[in-house]
Amino acid sequence: MSITLTTNPADKTKVKARPMIKHIRTYLLRHKLDESFGFSQWHYDTRNALLIEIEDDRGNIGWGECYGPSEVTQSAVHSIYAPLLIGWDPLKNEAAWQHCWRASLDFARSGIMMGAMSGLDMAMFDLKGKLLGVSASELMGGRRVDKLECYATGMYFRKIPENDLLDMILEEARGYVDQGFKAMKIKVGKNIEFDKRQIRAMREAFPDVRLMADSNHAYDLPEAIEIGRVLEECLFDWFEEPLSPQHPELFAKLADKIDVPIATGECEQTRWGFQKLLGAGGVHIVQPDLAYCGGPTEALKIRAIASSLGINTIAHAWGTMLNLASATHFLATNHVEPGRAEPSQPLLEVDRTPNPMRDEMYSTTLEIKDGQVAVPTAPGLGVEPDRKALAGFCINQTEV
């Protein structure tokens, strides 16, 4: 516990000395990949991340992470939001969120600015847990499980002939099964014919593995219906981002035509954005990203809205260990709708694409073994970047 009792010289009574945010630092991290990998929209040849460090007046540290274009998000954190939070009590994360929200409402109801607020909120959540001596899942209401089943996200595209690509995808998938994963998610949206071949080949090769497919909003409605029917025939668990997030009204039309569950939401933000998306119907699983949707504080509200509509929430997780730890705590506190004595277990997304900033930069990290992860019990998020390793990836640092 880092909160101490001190004497108030004015009235001689014992009062609790409140912590105060003293510094907010940002770290723009970059790693150039040996080989690019792609999905339906483009190919990655570098990995980027933006980490946020909040330090209070006693040297306690909270870490957060933002999802989105790191340079722009860094500027939003450093020049707009960090100055608003210096001197703020880090235990007041709800009030801080509202303070930032109202201060930038005219131009920041969604997008990069909300991504910036998300990382700050995550860092404040981590710091609050450390100050109170409780884990993030306890701050979220208490974990329901101590371990989570994970699914491997991978099988991205390469710039090679399609027959070779399909062989490579199946080999990669076999590797995840060998590591103990019982669920996997493939990328679709390359082109319709390849997508159908890939879906069928995956099911044929892995008849007993839970499979999901993610198009990253690659299809129009007729294409999504065509692919959805193949996923249905191959008993996939869900069809992720089948359609553009710009057209929430199309999800209900798709849901009328196919029987595979529809998942989406990684591009959406705030309770208001999700209310609009889910209110239009057709979405069965909602996927806010805690480094983008508004942070852990806002994700709890998004989950409450989804729950009120009978929709289950499974956090999207990309980036480094801070976001994955946030998603882990969030999922561990999930109550499956509507619930039963033997409920289905939500699956944690574990990105397996190359990223040394995720795999080699943390001194305290999540252990993924046999396709499962233990929910951290240490105060806060339970993962800590190694400063020396972090410095090796850092191309720009700021401090307020």
Which residues belong to the active site?
316
Least distance to Mg ion, CB of residue 329, Å: 20
- Taking CA atoms, 170 is separated from 44, 167, 177, in Å, by 21, 5, 11
Compare residues 149 and 214 and give the one whose CB is closer to Mg ion: 214
Query: What is the nearest approach in angstroms of Mg ion to the Cβ of residue 89?
Result: 36
Scanning residues 18 to 37, which ones bind Mg ion (CB under 5 A)? none
Nearest approach in angstroms of CB 262 to Mg ion is: 12
Residue range at the interface with Mg ion (CB under 5 A); choices 123-131, 208-216, 330-338, 352-360: 208-216
Closer to Mg ion by Cβ: residue 127 or 199: 199
> Do 199 and 185 touch, CB atoms closer than 8 A?
no
Under rule CB under 5 A, residue 214 binds Mg ion: yes
Read off the tokens for 279: 């209110």
What is d(CA 78, CA 201) in angstroms, rounded to the nearest whole number?
Answer: 48
For the stretch 246-277, what's the b/e string if a residue is b when 16 or more beta carbons lie within 10 angstroms of its beta carbon?
Answer: eebebbebbbeebebbbbbbbbbbbbebbbeb
The sign of the torsion formed by the CA atoms of 121, 125, 126, 132 equals positive
**Number of chain residues interacting with Mg ion (CB under 5 A):** 2
275, containing H or E segment: helix 270-279
Q: How far apart are CA 320 and CA 226, in angstroms?
A: 34
Which part of the chain contacts Mg ion (CB under 5 A), choosing from 98-106, 192-200, 209-217, 326-334?
209-217
Rg of the chain, C-alpha, whole Å: 21
Q: Shortest Cβ contact with Mg ion: which residue?
A: 214
Sign of CA dihedral 120, 125, 126, 132: positive
> Which amino acid would we find at residue 246?
Q
Angle at 286 between CA 284 and CA 291, to 5 degrees: 170
Identify which of 128, 118, 34, 101 has the alpha carbon closest to the alpha carbon of residue 354: 34
149 or 240: CB nearest Mg ion:
240
Q: Which is nearer to Mg ion, 195 or 240 (CB)?
A: 240
With 0-12 CB in 10 A as exposed, 13-18 as middle and 19+ as buried, what is 116? buried
Binding mask 77-116 for Mg ion (x = CB under 5 A): ----------------------------------------
Instruction: Return d(Cα 116, Cα 66) in angstroms, integer.
Output: 6
Supply the minimum distance, in Å, between the C-beta of residue 49 and Mg ion.
17
Helix (H, G, I), strand (E, B) or coil at 4: coil
Among the listed ranges 75-83, 162-170, 175-183, 211-219, the one in contact with Mg ion (CB under 5 A) is 211-219
Rounded distance, CA 299 to CA 302, Å?
5
CB of 105 to Mg ion, least distance (A): 28
DSSP designation for 19: P
Least Å distance between CB 227 and Mg ion?
15
Site for Mg ion in 237-276 (CB under 5 A): 240
Shortest distance (Å) from residue 185 CB to Mg ion: 8
Q: Which is nearer to Mg ion, 50 or 267 (CB)?
A: 267
Q: Which x/- pattern, by CB under 5 A, does the window 372-391 give for Mg ion?
A: --------------------
Kindly tell me which of 55 and 214 has the beta carbon lying closer to Mg ion.
214
Shorter beta-carbon distance to Mg ion: residue 65 or 214:
214
Contact status, residue 84 vs residue 54, Cβ threshold 8 Å:
no
Give the strand pairing for 61-66 and 147-153. Answer: unpaired
The contact set with Mg ion (CB under 5 A) reads 214, 240
